[in-house]
Structure 1
Amino acid sequence: MATGASANMWRRWLRPEAYPIFATTGVAVGICVMQLVRNITTNPEVRVTKENRAAGVLDNHAEGERYSRHGFRKFIDGRSREIMPALNSFFTDPPKY
């Protein structure tokens, strides 16, 4: 009986229509895991080992700057905050004839 119920469950959930929700959920979980690992390994305020926790509060501003100015933030600095700047300028600044 368990085999029939298990097969029925797989038929219900593993349909091609459900693949996009599985993919988006997988991407979201991946982003969460990536951020968790980044915070545990590189955040200057997170101390996992006992020796680091015993150090107390450190005023190491260079380490905090390295953490906050990560590669993606450096990549987007100086760029337009618009998603489609060409399309936005087309509609906001129409050509004058």
Structure 2
Amino acid sequence: MASSTASRWFRPEVYPLFAAVGVAVGICGFQLIRNICINPEVRINKEGRAAGVLENYAEGEKYAEHSLRRFVRDRNPEIMPAINSFFTNPSK
């Protein structure tokens, strides 16, 4: 029975499924760790929870404006700019 289950699920056809699920689990894990470790609204210790609602706007701004967001802020929202400009500007 175990060999038939292994031969059913460990075929080359299901490797893309394993990869997609693995990437999704990795993204979820990254967000979970990021929120637990550096989100200013998440407090793990007892003293932090007892403080109630904090007015820490600077820390919240630092969390929301991370380096990736600052990097893409002044860029055009295009995936392939060369192909987009080729098809939108045919005079070139």
In the superposition, the TM-score normalised over structure 1's length comes to: 0.89
Give the partner amino acid of 1:93.
N
Question: Gaps (5+ residues) in structure 1?
Answer: none
**Deviates most, 60-69 or 71-80:** 71-80
The Cα shift of 1:16 comes to: 0.8
Alpha-carbon distance in structure 1 between the residues aligned to 2:67 and 2:2? 46
Structure with larger Rg: 1
Matches within 5 A, 1:10-25: 10-25=6-21
Task: Tell me the C-alpha RMSD between the 2 structures.
Answer: 1.1
Q: Does 1:56 align with 2:52?
A: yes
In the superposition, the TM-score normalised over structure 2's length comes to: 0.94
**Identity of aligned pairs, percent?**
61
Question: Gaps (5+ residues) in structure 2?
Answer: none
Partner SS, residue 25 of structure 2:
helix
Give the partner amino acid of 1:87.
I
Give the partner amino acid of 2:56.
N
